Amino acid sequence: MSPDVVRAMSLDLFFDYLGVRINGEKAEGRHIVVNWVFSDLDRSYVANLEHSALTYLADRRASADATVTLERAALNRLVLRDVAFADAVERGLVRVEGNADKVAELFALLDDFYLMFEVVEPKRESRAAPGRPGS
């Protein structure tokens, strides 16, 4: 997805987007709960990965594996893979209370989708026109 589209998404749509990117097979049997606190927006979300699906609730917090505090721009950079999670923590772009490995695990479960693909067209058979042999 283009960086401009990611930046323009509301947080609700953004968490929906993350849910679509979860690789169901890799996520099978995993349970991860993360509180997300956006310091620049005064918003919080709780994301729950369970049964190979990521769900979220806005303006909530829960008993979680980790609480991640960051600005929205930092989340954009993480998801666009401009910066690795460990590097973002080291640089102070992200603060984690609790089990940071669970957050890294969540990011590792995201699939990448490519917008462009090759179009395969059926092979055309040459047919003779009615009344004309061959051609």
* Average confidence (pLDDT) over 19-35: 95
Burial of 107 (0-12, 13-18, 19+ CB in 10 A): middle
Domains of the chain, first to last: 3-108 (3.30.1050.10)
* Average confidence (pLDDT) over 116-132: 65
pLDDT for position 128? 58
pLDDT for position 6? 84
pLDDT for position 133? 58
E strands, the chain, are 32-38, 43-50, 53-58, 66-70, 94-98
Nearest alpha carbon to residue 112 among 29, 33, 20, 36:
20
Given a cut of 90, whether residue 79 has pLDDT beyond it is no
Given a cut of 80, whether residue 1 has pLDDT beyond it is no
Nearest alpha carbon to residue 35 among 43, 24, 27, 25:
43
DSSP state of 68: E
Query: Both tokens of residue 49?
Result: 């990965």
Q: Are strands 43-50 and 32-38 parallel, antiparallel or unpaired?
A: antiparallel
pLDDT for position 126? 60
* Average confidence (pLDDT) over 36-47: 96
* Average confidence (pLDDT) over 27-33: 97
b/e burial code for range 17-28 (CB count within 10 A of at least 16 → b) = ebeebbeeeebe
Is residue 134 very low, low, confident or very high in pLDDT (cuts 50, 70, 90)? low
Q: Model's pTM, two decimal places?
A: 0.78
Give the angle 93-98-101 at the CA atoms, nearest 5°.
75
pLDDT for position 3? 84
How far apart are the two ends of the chain, measured CA to CA in Å? 47
Residue with more model confidence, 112 or 21: 21
